[in-house]
A and B are shown apart, each in its own frame.
Chain A
Amino acid sequence: MCDTCGCGSEHDSFTLHKVNETTEHVHEHRHDHENHHHSHTDVDKKVLNVETDILFKNNLLAERNRGFFEAKNIRVFNLVSSPGSGKTTLLEKLIEQLKPSMKVYVIEGDQQTSNDAKRIETAGANAIQINTGNGCHLDAHMINHAVKALDPEENSLLFIENVGNLICPALFDLGENTRVVIASTTEGEDKPLKYPGMFQSSQICVLNKIDLLPYLDFNPEKFIANLKKVVPGQPLFQLSAKTGKDLEKLTDKLLS
């Protein structure tokens, strides 16, 4: 059993890394039935109506995270995308713009390495890296531990950079206020159709790398039409994290 939060689940093990710190908290749940002491009195065969959401524990922990964020007035954004859409670059630019007015924190999720957390700390935000090991998504339990280690101040912003994957993170509420899905012009215009679950579970869509449009066959109108099929009315921000074009429209929205 996890002695920090009392949970008894057997999640994949994951590790937390603070930049410039060698200490790491390895958190591994074991599920060992040899230690269970069942009372072997005969129990009649019976049907138990369970009706329990398979994600019940994650959702419960996500709500717990949400309550903590709300009490401390921390606004939380969960950034989701496929690998290589420019999430980390976008975050670096957002931090640059936001840090004069607010304290910014970042939880970085990757299968391996602390490379992204290092980039974020260089950009001026406090960051913690979650390495999911074999996991393909972050879950509320990991965020719960990462937030405790990060210890964010009141009235701040927290960005969670999820594992680059447009399928698995869609199902896992982390306790965020807003989920931001990021696509880029180097991907297909049909991304919303291919991964509708992720686009539908997000509240804001960003189309990154618009500076590359002159060199690509990507047609933004097609992308917009596809997005409308999947989530009519979802706010879309077309920008270039690299050049900074139209980035302030997104920061205004995030702070509104």
Chain B
Amino acid sequence: MHEFSLAQNIIEIVDDTLKQHGAHQAKEIELEIGTLSGVEISALEMALESLKPGTIIENTKVKLIITKAKAICRNCKNEYFPEDLFSPCPKCSGYGPEIISGKELLVKSIVAE
């Protein structure tokens, strides 16, 4: 359940950012999570929900942007959307593509007030 550690990191990032900007509340936060990031979305949501009480994000709406994985085959340069970390290229069946997106793990923005 590394999602709990990640949720703690998120709270910390929000806390630090609000302080830096002299804001005291986060109305909404936007997270970007790639489908190949190694994060179980439902586990992260659960971790955030259970850690929320008593923290800076207690009353914050959490918006998740799920980024679909995109890869380029190293053999034939075909661009495709892998389902998992070892989906072969649909064109040449090559393995080990270059992942262009899908590994994102970001606090993207905070609506502060």
Query: B-contacting residues of A (Cβ < 8 Å)?
Result: 8-12, 31, 33, 38-40, 43-58, 135-137, 139, 167-168, 170-172, 192-193, 196-197, 200, 228-233
Q: Nearest chain-B residue to A197 (Cβ)? A: B38
Question: How far apart sit A173 and B86, CA to CA, in the bound complex (Å)?
Answer: 22
Q: Which of chain A's residues have a CB closer than 8 A to the CB of B10? A: 54
Q: Are B2 and A193 in contact (CB under 8 A)?
A: no
Number of interface residues of B (CB under 8 A): 38
Which residues of A lie under 8 Å from residue B23 when comparing CB positions? 43, 46, 48
Top-4 shortest CB links A-B: A196-B85, A168-B2, A232-B96, A45-B113
Interface string of B35-68 (1 = CB under 8 A from A): 0001100000000000000111000000000000
Are the CB atoms of B17 and A48 closer together than 8 Å? yes
Name 16 A/B residue pairs within 8 A (Cβ), A-sorted: A11-B5, A31-B11, A33-B56, A45-B112, A47-B109, A47-B111, A50-B108, A54-B13, A54-B31, A57-B9, A167-B38, A171-B105, A197-B38, A200-B85, A228-B95, A229-B95
Contact of A48 with B8 in the complex, beta carbons under 8 Å: no
B108 touches A51 (CB 8 A): yes
Smallest CB–CB gap between B50 and chain A, Å?
13
Specify which chain B residues have a CB less than 8 angstroms from the CB of A51 in the assembled complex. Answer: 106-109
CB distance from B113 to the nearest CB of A (A): 4
Chain B residues within CB distance 8 Å of chain A: 1-2, 4-6, 8-13, 17, 21-24, 27, 31, 38-39, 54-56, 84-86, 88, 95-96, 105-113
- Asked if B112 contacts A9 (CB within 8 A), the reply is no
Q: Are A231 and B1 in contact (CB under 8 A)?
A: no
Chain B residues with Cβ below 8 Å from A31 are: 11, 55
Closest residue on chain B to residue A9 by CB atoms: B12
Q: Please, which residues of chain A bring their CB within 8 A of the CB of B54?
A: 33
Cα of A57 to Cα of B107 in the assembled complex, Å:
13
Residues from chain A with a CB closer than 8 A to the CB of B109 are 47-51
The answer to whether B56 touches A171, judged by C-beta atoms less than 8 angstroms apart, is: no
Quick check: B105 and A46 within 8 Å, CB to CB? no
A199–chain B nearest beta-carbon distance, Å:
9
Q: Are A172 and B2 interface neighbours, CB within 8 A? A: yes
A40 to B25, CA, bound (A): 10
